[in-house]
Structure 1
């Protein structure tokens, strides 16, 4: 995983250096480490993390650390074993004060901890009550003039997107996610998409829905970013 993160960082960094906005289609949330390395090597940017879970399990709050897929946000802001969180001596990959998390469910066991560490934390229910565009704008303000955008598609409610590894009730709608991405994409230096599981989508219907959301939501990716 560390080797993969370093190689991914090289490819992301090359795209950024060409003035492009890279879009990484990944497996699980650990691909955030590669994006973090790439941006940290270039002076650092903020992070907007959209996920149905906080992904904040780490050695300080759990004896069960074994999968960075559920620990990626903790590692990204330096709250993990140094072998994961300080690759190439670049910890933290994203400054916690300029990290905004969106989309966890009300029963997430680490939400109180992340609220005390990150710049902003918005549960899925608040995306619905406050409005996706408002949440996107407020999260972008926290992340700063340039940020990486990571989306775990399990932020969607499982009645809409069941083809994920850990579906939990209480997620947002496809329209809300589209509006959120439209607000966030222009100022994102790049983006990564994770956790869609094609094995759980035998006829491709959920893949088509996801492509529609990403096409509409990320069409202006990187068009208004202030590069570091």
Structure 2
């Protein structure tokens, strides 16, 4: 990576349901929590920007079937302006959420800028729409939304549907294997590699295939989505939807290094770590140490 880093803070929790009655999801505290644990200082960005999200609610939008849909759309429009500006300045945005719904605004910015691929690294597929969702939360539907599934209110912001073509998306790391859940994505044209397949074929082949697609399609670049529930539950339990297994830091660091070492890497986002679930910061510190060391190892003077 040769570009100057810009950290962008999008601390939205609008895509999640309440963890308990009357209590907001704590992911909105993530940017400040990472900063407290030396994330920002370790990366030494050229600039740091932040956008306050609309107020949280549990309101289910009747038109789209998605909670907080209007607020998410407005936030996405505001996000996209910030991300577009950073991309136009040839900087590398590292975006801190928030929940996975921040992918929507980032995707709008990318679509406005050119043609991009998406490397979607997540312990779930997030390839759901309201008829399949059990929560109505956009954080579990974000991959479907950015590839054009669901109501136009969310999928066609600024008349840019779809933000990513399905064949330009790699969904990697899912470990929720129920047939009904997986069927939605296997019926699509998204390149789907669950955790078992990733380990069978090997990380190097997975990344090489993705980068080859980006090159063959002559895309302008690619975006990396990182939901931290992709990590092994023993090293990152501070997430809203826990499951056994997951990537080790050795595996995670290898994926990140190979992606960031490619010249077409355009930016990335980090989501879902909930500081309320890691009050001592023990899991967050380990993440910061691994992530920042890997990013910095790819930076060239």
- Counterpart of 1:156? 231
Deviation at 1:124, TM superposition (A): 1.1
Q: CA 1:203–1:47 in 2, change beyond 3 Å: closer, same or farther?
A: same
What SS class does the counterpart of residue 251 from structure 2 fall into?
Answer: helix
Instruction: Select which of 191, 203, 211 maps to 1:120.
Output: 191
- Counterpart of 1:170? 245
Conservation of the 8 A alpha-carbon contact between 1:49 and 1:102 = yes
CA distance in 2, matches of 1:73, 1:220: 29
Conservation of the 8 A alpha-carbon contact between 1:127 and 1:172 = no
Conservation of the 8 A alpha-carbon contact between 1:48 and 1:140 = no
Q: CA 1:63–1:210 in 2, change beyond 3 Å: closer, same or farther?
A: closer
**TM-score, scaled to structure 1:** 0.90
CA distance in 1, matches of 2:109, 2:298: 17
C-alpha distance after superposition, 1:113-169 (max 9, x if no partner):
212323411111222233223222223333454111101010011111101111111
Are positions 1:3 and 2:60 aligned together?
no
* Aligned-pair Cα RMSD in Å: 1.9
Q: CA 1:220–1:74 in 2, change beyond 3 Å: closer, same or farther?
A: farther
Instruction: Select which of 283, 287, 291 maps to 1:206.
Output: 283
The structure whose Rg is larger is 2
What SS class does the counterpart of residue 22 from structure 1 fall into?
Answer: strand
CA distance in 1, matches of 2:285, 2:166: 34
Moved over 4 A (4+): 220-223
Conservation of the 8 A alpha-carbon contact between 1:163 and 1:197 = yes
Deviation at 1:106, TM superposition (A): 5.0
**Structure 1 gaps, min length 5:** 224-228
- Counterpart of 2:142? 72
**TM-score, scaled to structure 2:** 0.69
CA distance in 1, matches of 2:241, 2:214: 27
CA distance in 2, matches of 1:134, 1:114: 21
Q: CA 1:77–1:131 in 2, change beyond 3 Å: closer, same or farther?
A: same
Are positions 1:89 and 2:130 aligned together?
no
Aligned residues, how many? 222
CA distance in 2, matches of 1:222, 1:81: 40
What SS class does the counterpart of residue 23 from structure 1 fall into?
Answer: strand
Deviation at 1:65, TM superposition (A): 6.0
- Counterpart of 1:138? 209
Q: CA 1:87–1:222 in 2, change beyond 3 Å: closer, same or farther?
A: farther
